[in-house]
Amino acid sequence: MDPAPHCFADALRAAIADSETTLERVAQQLRARGTPVSLATLSYWQTGRSRPERPRSMAALGHLEELLGLAGGALRGLLEAPRPRGRSARRAPQPLAASAPWADTTEFRRLVAELDLSHDAALTRLSAHDRVEIGADRAKRVQRTRQVLRAERDGVDRLVVTGWAEREGGRPPSLTGTRNCSLGKVNVDLRGGQVAAELLFDRPLGRRETIIVEHESHLPTPRQTAYGHQRVSRMPVREYLLEVRFDPRALPRYCVQFAEVDGREQVRALTLDSAYTAHALALDLEPGRYGIRWAWGTP
């Protein structure tokens, strides 16, 4: 079988499924041919968490194609250019436009044009934690966000955050700094229901200094029924945790977590815990959209 030219992870996963073999068997056969690849590495390759890059991995790729009955180069040809290493790997990534799902990115650029984004690329996002409260009326009550940041140069003193309404045309939320920061300049787009604001740190940071920053987002009343929550990760984040807590008087019929990177979405079912909370944890996030969606039953 020659996989369709989609992406390396998809093609490898489909080839393994079509060959009716297992990752364990593939790992054994590669080891027998003198090009060992660990079971964990094979798993990462087929889920897209990593890909072959080093010479030893590329040598094993030819054997892997043969073992799976693929044409020579079928998998290798789906690999993009190798990821940068060394100094080039530390170059500041390009931020993703954190606009509302329904908004044009041009409108987002206008919204943040007067804000100071020059500090964003100098902050490493070590962790981010969103906690969302859903009331008995099925509407969002409040979102609390906690971030652990590290300055990569002296003088970093702010962070730009964004938010939007539950529906197109709705009023945007109000933002408040609650720990180690205060609200700076705020720009609001009433037509698009978007808001962008500067969180000013209590003092400028020194290089390699870390800070915990917390802020809250409150939606105006009357509140609309919520069907999900998503974070647009503008920059890479090492650890992201999203919690959505439901009022026990209004529990969803089901919940799923989703991740959308480069236009491709992955979805996984979630279960509420004993505190009526669904959570999704992700590590080494790339810029993209991540969140939890749910559906309501009959009231």
**What does the pLDDT look like over 141-198, one tens digit per residue?**
889 999 999 999 999 999 989 888 877 777 888 999 999 999 999 988 877 788 889 9
Please give the domain boundaries of the chain with CATH numbers for all domains: 8-78 (1.10.260), 95-295 (2.60.40)
Q: What pLDDT digit, counting tens, does each position of 34-83 carry?
A: 788 888 788 878 877 777 877 677 778 888 888 888 877 778 766 654 44
Q: 237-246 and 123-134 as β-strands: parallel, antiparallel, unpaired?
A: parallel
3-state secondary structure labels for all residues of 173-195: CEEEEEECEEEEEEEEECCCCEE
pLDDT over threshold 90, residue 128? yes
Q: Model confidence over 79-102: pLDDT tens digits? A: 654 444 444 444 444 444 555 555
Spatial separation of the C-alpha atoms in residues 214 and 274, rounded to whole Å: 26
Reported as type and span, the H/E element at residue 130 is: strand 123-134
Q: What's the average model confidence in pLDDT over 9-27?
A: 83
pLDDT recorded at residue 178: 95
Of 11, 209, 210, 238, residue with least CA distance to 128: 238
| Total-model pTM | 0.64
